[in-house]
Amino acid sequence: MSTQSVGNQRHRVVVIGSGFGGLFGTRHLRKADVDITLISKTSTHLFQPLLYQVATGILSTGEIAPATRLVLRKQKNAQVLLGDVHDIDLVNNTVTSRLLNRDTVTPFDSLIVATGAQQSYFGNDHFATFAPGMKTIDDALELRARILGSFEQAELATTQAERDRLMTFIVVGAGPTGVELAGQIAELADRTLDGTFRTIDPRDARVILLEGAGAVLGPMGPKLGAKAAKRLEKMGVEIQLNAMVTDVDAHGVVVKDADGSTRRIEATCKVWSAGVQASPLGKMIAERSDGTEVDRAGRVIVEPDLTVKGHPNVFVVGDLMSVPGVPGQAQGAIQGSTYAAKAIKAGLKGQTPEQRAPFKYFNKGSMATISRFDAVCQIGKIEFSGFLAWLAWLALHLYYLVGYRSRIVTVIGWFVSFLGRNRGQMAATEQWVFARLAIEEVQSDQADADELAAALGAPPGNNSKPARVREQQREVG
């Protein structure tokens, strides 16, 4: 175990997470008289709203996920550490992160926790094996390989039933991510892949959007939801509402309809975008605070100044915080972390926690694309859709994309995809489909071995069955 030491007496801020909350909080402190350590288990700042475009071959990972280290190169008061935070000590004010076998302890005076949320399968985690979520770069690449791989297999299929199963794509959850994904899979099949196979016609692909509730884009209201549904249906997407997925396996899903009856849909490629669960660090912080609780999704019910009870120096922001009226969106994370950074700066000037004004969220609206040139947009009470909404979506996403180069390359990618039929990022490998499951297997072997070792009284960490993998980890580490 190593301890991060800071060689001077400046106020130490630790930021956990390099998403919207982590990065914007860190950048807001760039001129402050503090030393910042940003710790994240991913080495990039991921722009999640465009993940679906990586999954469907429009953008590359580099365009939506610049290396955090490069983004913060010029911010001399910030250091970036790669590591999975697994312990937060609110008594001694330290954070412990792990990279491979190495634990690093980083002390803090102020802490901003922005570790976001992950996919929720509502207690059915085994669904993930066959229906990956859409939260990480790995998810997007895996999905791209699954989508394109399904078409490749369909070209070789020997029976109609097999071909139909391979050319049916199921998206579970009709929120913005589900809507955007369904639209893009349909466009991929109809425009980009059209004419590229000889046995199958990609335009025959079925894209099915399953939603457990009664509407598409529920939180955006009935008018925009109906517009989005109409446009999707025009593109050939089959929308099935009040359809609860009760089981998922390699070859399909089981759906329970509103009348209680169940049916099965055969489909090889499934994607899950139906729910989120907060990062487990939320529960840990709440349990170690002086009475803070988490909500049903595991988000921390923070104080009005976004801190936890008894620890006015510990801020929880972004998708990990639970604040009434603040949605799990980029704006919530950016505004929350900016508020925390301002509170830290004010503290340096003598402001006490009691003097802090409560956090106020300013709702800048929400939007979702449906297809090229078509989106729905809600800003306050104003709702609009179509090309104008799509232009607004385009401008906003470009504005928030981090990095000058990312913006230019992204515009070129959009130009190629939206004006022409081609997509520039159609590479996919078998490894992308299987890597997640292989890693999970290795990790479960590790957990088994650690459990056995603990039962025998040995410390965990070096008892894994796949010794070859651990050997390699040691070499890399």
- Residues taking part in catalysis: 180
**Interface pick for ligand FAD out of 215, 333, 375, 433 (rule CB under 6 A):** 333
- Binding string, 269-288, against ligand FAD, x = CB under 6 A? ----------x-x-------
- Binding string, 418-457, against ligand FAD, x = CB under 6 A? ----------------------------------------
- Which part of the chain contacts ligand FAD (CB under 6 A), choosing from 223-231, 232-240, 257-265, 312-320? 312-320
* Cα–Cα nearest to 391, from 418, 413, 428: 418
Cβ at position 427, least distance to ligand FAD in Å: 21
Q: Which is nearer to ligand FAD, 40 or 406 (CB)?
A: 40
**Interface pick for ligand FAD out of 149, 178, 252, 318 (rule CB under 6 A):** 318
**Interface pick for ligand FAD out of 299, 319, 410, 449 (rule CB under 6 A):** 319
Angle at 175 between CA 177 and CA 284, to 5 degrees: 80
Cβ at position 180, least distance to ligand FAD in Å: 7
Does the protein bind ligand FAD through residue 460 (CB under 6 A)?
no
**Interface pick for ligand FAD out of 13, 34, 51, 253 (rule CB under 6 A):** 51
Q: Report how far residue 16's alpha carbon sits from residue 113's, in angstroms, rounded to the nearest whole number.
A: 5
Q: Which is nearer to ligand FAD, 21 or 413 (CB)?
A: 21
Cβ at position 285, least distance to ligand FAD in Å: 11
- Interaction with ligand FAD in 106-125: which residues (CB under 6 A)? 114-116
Q: Which is nearer to ligand FAD, 23 or 215 (CB)?
A: 23
- Which part of the chain contacts ligand FAD (CB under 6 A), choosing from 30-38, 41-49, 232-240, 403-411? 41-49
**Interface pick for ligand FAD out of 10, 41, 206, 288 (rule CB under 6 A):** 41
**Interface pick for ligand FAD out of 93, 329, 378, 425 (rule CB under 6 A):** 329
Tell me the residue length of the chain: 477
CA distance to 168, 265, 267, per residue, from 262 (Å): 19, 10, 16
Does the protein bind ligand FAD through residue 22 (CB under 6 A)?
yes
- Binding string, 82-101, against ligand FAD, x = CB under 6 A? --xx----------------
Q: Which is nearer to ligand FAD, 20 or 151 (CB)?
A: 20
Cβ at position 8, least distance to ligand FAD in Å: 25
Q: Which is nearer to ligand FAD, 4 or 48 (CB)?
A: 48
User: Tokens in use for 81?
Assistant: 């550490």
**Interface pick for ligand FAD out of 14, 39, 186, 232 (rule CB under 6 A):** 39
**Interface pick for ligand FAD out of 15, 28, 36, 49 (rule CB under 6 A):** 49
Does the protein bind ligand FAD through residue 138 (CB under 6 A)?
no
The full 3-state SS of 262-276, as one line of letters, equals EEEEECCEEEECCCE
Does the protein bind ligand FAD through residue 328 (CB under 6 A)?
yes
Provide the binding-site residues for ligand FAD, judged by CB under 6 A: 16-22, 39-42, 48-49, 51, 84-85, 114-116, 134-135, 176-177, 279, 281, 318-320, 328-331, 333
